[in-house]
Amino acid sequence: MNIFAGYAKKVIKAPFGDNITIIGAWSDFILKPSEEHYTVNQYRNEECIGIWIIKSISSFYGINTSSKQGVMLSPINGNKVIFKGDIFVDARCKVNFYEVVLPFELNEPIVGKPTNEYDNCRVVIYNRIGLDNKYIAFIHNKEEIGPIQDITIKCLDPVDTGLIRVEIITQNSSDNLDIKQLEIKIDSEKHITLNKLINTMSPIRSFLLDAGDNHYYGRESVRRKNNSIFEPVVNVRAGSIRVILTPNEGQIDGFVSPTYPFELFYKSLSLAESKDTQALFELLRESLLDLKRGLYHLLSITRLYEKEGIFEVIVSENEHLRVTKKSFDTIRNALQDLNTREVLIIGRIYAIDSLRRWFKVKDEKTSVDWKFVYSTDIDSMSIREHGDYVKVIGETQTPENARKGIAELKGIEFLT
């Protein structure tokens, strides 16, 4: 199957213009003349950060030709910076990410294909940038794939690796759900006041907007007055109060998933209903810089129905959640445990996103992975020019025992 997949080994910037040539390891792919606008998605640490057009492919002949292919790319939108180790995948394909265990140390990524029923798929096995975890990007064009346990991979690059057995540990949570819409269902024999309904829908809207804007664009919102690409569209069904929320059909950036806020909303309430405060913290801090604001939205939603237990969120025929007093208690306890503190981190910057204005640093003392969001008055290129070894001060609501953190940048000093 003709699927483009692989990773960057060397990045060559054109002397003028936005074109970038990357020399890397790629799957068995042929660019046909008819595919003039062949597009690929750029991934870094399981996140799609850019979309590119393949302009040309050149072969640099050597002993191992598969690792000597240069691909010239032109950005469409999203991130315009490529790091060594970034993964590129055919934009027509879907990607599932799994944490894996290998029988050997992984010195550089491996490009290959499964030998079982998934032989039409392609994989890239890699170390997460800045971390020790090993992941596999499972690239396919199926509507969905069932649970994957252990698989055997035939290596396409490096070619001398042969067959390897890969043990799947966990699936990336961002791909567990495929939510196209949220149905909010309120069943009750009693009358519900209009004020009560409005006071429920308003924080739902606020949570969805904050989740999308914070996750994809950082601190600064992309809203213009009441207009946002994450503004949900409402459909109302007859009978009991059943409100169906769907993504806005306006123009969006290619790296944005308009259903992401729906997924975060549903998962957050699921964790709250299961009384897992720590997991709720872990989930929300990946996207929300202001955890307290997000939790207050959720508390406002669950407070109104803590006694009745008549509030349901439905994402499919077999996937629905009834919100009860357990959710309210969990979120209230989470708010009580939350506090704002200042952190001082020393480490190396290993990732920068100039579009959404954040960079990532791994604390050399605690090995905690930190994401710092900065304002528009900081030039991201100046960060790259001064070097990657830094002392950073930020303000965070991340709990002290967390493995990852997100903070608002307050100061940065470049160390020699």
pLDDT at 266 over 50: yes
Under the banding of pLDDT at 50, 70 and 90, the label for residue 306 is low
Nearest-angstrom CA–CA distance, 312 and 310: 6
Map tokens 């803590």 to a residue: 306
Q: What is the mean pLDDT of residues 291-318?
A: 76
Nearest-angstrom CA–CA distance, 205 and 268: 15
Greater model confidence, 21 or 170: 21
pLDDT tens-digit map of 355-387: 777 888 989 888 888 988 887 555 555 666 666
Under the banding of pLDDT at 50, 70 and 90, the label for residue 289 is confident
Structure tokens at 323: 């919100």
Map tokens 């039409």 to a residue: 120
Nearest-angstrom CA–CA distance, 312 and 322: 4
CATH architecture for segment(s) 5-90: Beta Barrel (2.40)
Under the banding of pLDDT at 50, 70 and 90, the label for residue 192 is low
Q: Which fold has domain 341-414?
A: OB fold (Dihydrolipoamide Acetyltransferase, E2P) (2.40.50)
Domain ranges of the chain: 5-90, 94-171, 182-337, 341-414
Q: Please, what's the largest Cα pairwise distance for the chain? A: 77
Greater model confidence, 368 or 16: 368
Nearest-angstrom CA–CA distance, 159 and 153: 12
Greater model confidence, 63 or 205: 205
Q: How far is CA 146 from CA 119, 141, 166, 202, 282, in A?
A: 15, 13, 17, 37, 26
Closest CA to 415 of 360, 351, 332, 349: 349
pLDDT tens-digit map of 49-86: 788 888 887 765 544 444 467 888 888 865 678 888 89
Which residues 6+ apart lie within 8 Å of 220 measured at CB?
Answer: 213, 357, 375, 376
Under the banding of pLDDT at 50, 70 and 90, the label for residue 274 is confident
3-state secondary structure string, 166-214?
A: EEEEEECHHHCCCCCCEEEEECCCCCCCHHHHHHHHHHHHHHHHHHHHH
